Amino acid sequence: MNISIPEGARVEIKGTQELELIPTLVDNEATRQHAMAEIAKKQRKIGGIVPLITDVSDILTQTACKFAAKALAEGKFAIAIKAKEYAGLLGTEIQPERRFGTELSDYAKFYGTTGILHSDENLVKYGFSENEIAEIRRRLDCLERDAFILTLGTQKNAALALEKVVERINQPGVLEETRRALPNGSNSFLRPLPG
C-alpha cells in the first residue's frame, strides 16, 4: 500500500494481513509524514550535523547497563556523536509509541547494530548512571541545547550505523522508502525505495 501527503513523499507499507488495520496504518503514516515535515522545518533552521564519531567505551567500563556491559565484554564498542542543537528534537513523537529517535534507530538497525540510544531518552532507566551520561556529554562537548546519539557494536558496524543516522538527519523530511507495518498500526523503516 502506498501513502503520501502533500508535504511528504511516497511511502510503501508492507506486511499487513489485517484489513481492519489499514485505516489506522494510513492515519498513522499521514501523522508520521506530517510530523517529519514539521521536524524538517526545525532541522533546516539548525542545519546539518557533523558525523564526528567518538569512542566512549572507556566511560562505560563499569556501567550497570546490562546490555552495554555485555556488548563491551564481547569486545564491541560504544560510539557516539554530538547532535548540535537537537536536544528535545529526538524525543518528538511521530506516531503512537514512536519518536524521531526511534525512526533514526531503525536506520542504525538496517546497517548492522541493535539501534541507537539518545540523550532525549531517560538513559538512567537502562542502567546508565548520571555520571556516565554527564561524562559522555563532556567528551562530546555537548551544551545544554545539544543531544547525543550512541550505539553499540563492532567498530565497523557501529561507525557505519552512525554515519547512516547522520546521513538521514541531514536529509530532513520524508524520504521515499518501504516501511514495515507494526501490530499497533504504526510502522517502521524497512529499506529505501529503489530508484
DSSP 104: H
**What pTM value is reported for the model?**
0.94
DSSP characters over 118-146: ETTS-GGGGT--HHHHHHHHHHTT--TT-
Q: Which residues are paired to 80 by β-bridges? A: 54, 150
Question: Rounded CA gap, 82 and 80, in Å?
Answer: 7
The pLDDT, as a whole number, for residue 194 is 82
195 has a pLDDT exceeding 80? no
Residue 116, judged by CB atoms within 10 A of its CB (0-12, 13-18, 19+), counts as buried
Nearest CA to 175 out of 118, 103, 112 is that of: 103
In this structure, are strands 177-181 and 11-14 parallel, antiparallel, or unpaired? parallel
| pLDDT tens sequence across 14-23 | 998 889 999 9
Supply 107's cell numbers: 536506520
Domain 49-169: which CATH number of 3.30.1360.30, 2.40.30.10, 1.10.275.10, 3.40.640.10: 3.30.1360.30
Percent of the chain that is helix, strand, coil (3-state, to 5) = 40, 20, 40
Residues 156-175: tens digit of each pLDDT: 999 999 999 999 999 999 99
Which of these ranges, 79-88, 131-140, 186-195, has the smallest mean pLDDT?
186-195
Q: Contact 132/60 with Cβ under 8 angstroms?
A: yes
The domain segmentation of the chain, as residue ranges, is 1-48+174-195, 49-169
